[in-house]
Amino acid sequence: MPTAKFLFPAKFTWGTATSSHQVEGNNQNNNWTRWEQQPGNILENASATPGPDWWNGGRWREDLTRAADAGQTAHRFSIEWSRIQPTPDSWDESAIEFYREMMRGMIQRGLKPMVTLHHFTDPLWFTDAGGWLNPKAPDFFRRYAEKVVPALKELTNEWITINEPNVYTYNGYITGAFPPGKKFALRSAVTCLRHMIQAHAAAYEIIHQNQPDAAVSIASNYMDFLSKTSAASDRWTTTFFDRAFNRSFLDVLMHGHFGFGPMRLNVKEARGTFDFVGLNYYTGQQVQFSTDLSKAMSFPAGASLSDTGFLANEPDSFANALRYASSYGKPVIVTENGVENDEDTFRREYIGDQIYQLWRAVSSGLPILGYYHWSLVDNFEWERGWTQRFGLWRLDIATGKREKRPSVDFYAAICKKNALDAEDLKTYAPVVFERIFRD
Ligand code: BGC
C-alpha cells in the first residue's frame, strides 16, 4: 500500500464553524424567527428552537469540549445582534457577557475564537426600519460594532464582519428563499449589497481603531460556475453569475468599485478594507442561459450528490475556489466547507477530496492559513430546516442527544497530524484513496 502524508505547514489552523441562530435556539427577536413562524417558509415548518441549544441549555460547553478533544484548534462562531441590541436604544450587557464567557471557554479549551458579527440574522427593529435597504443601515451596523468590538477584543483578533453578503442578498432579493422573501428585486439586491459594503467598511475601521493588529474580512461564498456549453449566451451568463455573485463584493473591497453589465457598485471608502479573504466553498454548478433561474444552474451529469441533491462533490471546483480567493493578493482562510449527509460515507469522501485539494493548493504556494469545517454539530439549515445534516456530530433534534459520526475521527486525524495521511484516507474514504493513488 502506498504510504504518504500530505503535510500542512506548521501553525495551519484546523477548526469548525457555526452561527448563532443555527445553534443557539430560542432567538425571539430576529427576522429569522419571524420568518419561521410564517407557515410555508421553512421545510416541514421547522423551527431553530431548541436545536443544539447553546443559549438556554449552555450546550456550547460540551460541543466545544468535543471539538477540542478531536484535535481542533479554532472555532468560528457568530454573535447575535438581536440579543445584544434588542431595541435601537438598548444594549443587553448580559448577552455580551454570554459571548465573552463562551470565548473564554474556547480559549481554555485551546480553540482560537474567530468572531462573525453578522450571519444572516437581523434584529426585528432593524428589519422593521427597512432592513438593509434603509440608507441608515450602515450606521446602525457601525453603532453595533462600536459597542461589541471593545467588549470582545481582548479575546480575539480575527473578525468576520458579515457572513456571505452574496448569499444573503441573492436569497433575500432574487430567489426569495430568505427573508424578506423578495423575488427578482434586482435594484433592491444592489442596494442591499451597497449598504452591506458600507457597513463592512465602517466595522473594519472600528475594529482596526480598537485593535491595530486585527485580521478582518468577510466570509464570501464562492460558487464555481462552469459554462454548460460553449454557446456565447451560456458563457456570458456564466461570467455574469461569476462576477455578480462571486466577485462583486470583494472587488469593491479591493478596488473601491465594481461594474459588469448593468450592475454597478461604487464605495470608495471600502477600498483596502480586508486583511485576508474568508472563503466559504461548498460546490460547483453548470450554467446555461435561461430566464428561469431554476433551469440556469444544474450539476454536471453523473455528479456525486449530497443527500438532498443540494451539493455536489466537485473537488476541482474547490481548487478553482482557492485560486480565486488567492487572486486578491491577501492570505486566505477557508471559513466554511462541508456537506449535508446523515449517514456519513459521502461526508468522509467529500472531506478526503477537499482536504487533498487544499493540500495541493497550499503546496503550490497559495497563501492559505486555515480551514474551518462546516459544521461541528447538525444545526438549523435555514429554509431547509432540519432536512439537511452538516454536522460532524449528529444531533437528535427530539432529545438533543449528540452522536459521533465517523467523520469526527477522520477530521481529528487530519487536525492532530496536521496532515492528510494515506492510511487515514484508506480507512475513512477508500474511494478517494483509490482515486488519488490509482496511477
Ligand atoms: C452558510 C451557513 C449554512 C451553510 C450550509 C453557508 O452558505 O454560511 O449558514 O449552514 O452554507 O447550507
Task: Place 5 in a pLDDT band, splitting at 50, 70 and 90.
Answer: very high
The pLDDT tens digits for 352-365 are: 999 999 999 999 99
Residue % of the chain over a pLDDT of 70: 100
The pLDDT tens digits for 319-353 are: 999 999 999 999 999 999 999 999 999 999 999 99
Is residue 2 scored above 90 in pLDDT?
no
Mean pLDDT over 184-188 rounds to 97
Task: Place 439 in a pLDDT band, splitting at 50, 70 and 90.
Answer: low
Q: What was the pLDDT predicted at 262? A: 87
Q: Is the pTM of this model over 0.85?
A: yes
User: Which residues lie across from 114 on neighbouring strands?
Assistant: 76
Q: What was the pLDDT predicted at 294? A: 84
Query: Best of 374, 386, 389, 392 to mutate for ligand 1, by most ligand atoms within 8 A of CB?
Result: 374
The pLDDT tens digits for 100-109 are: 999 999 999 9
Atom number of ligand 1 nearest to Cα 381: 10
The pLDDT tens digits for 44-61 are: 999 999 999 999 999 999
Mean pLDDT over 30-57 rounds to 98
Pocket of ligand 1 (CB under 6 A): 19, 22, 163-164, 167, 221, 280, 336, 374, 381, 390
Residue 282 CA to ligand 1 centre (angstroms): 9
Residue 31 CA to ligand 1 centre (angstroms): 17
The pLDDT tens digits for 187-210 are: 999 999 999 999 999 999 999 999
Atom number of ligand 1 nearest to Cα 120: 9
Is residue 1 scored above 80 in pLDDT?
no
Query: Best of 311, 381, 387, 389 to mutate for ligand 1, by most ligand atoms within 8 A of CB?
Result: 381
C-alpha cell recorded at residue 248: 462583486
Is residue 316 scored above 90 in pLDDT?
yes
Residue 381 CA to ligand 1 centre (angstroms): 7
Which residues, at least 6 apart from 416, have a Cβ–Cβ distance to it below 8 Å? 71
Residue 5 CA to ligand 1 centre (angstroms): 30
Residue 23 CA to ligand 1 centre (angstroms): 12
CB 155 within 8 A of CB 162: no
Residue 434 CA to ligand 1 centre (angstroms): 30
Q: Which residue has the cell 482560537?
A: 112
The pLDDT tens digits for 122-180 are: 999 999 999 999 999 999 999 999 999 999 999 999 999 999 999 999 999 999 999 99
What count of other Cβ atoms lies within 10 Å of the Cβ of residue 11?
9
Q: What was the pLDDT predicted at 222? A: 98
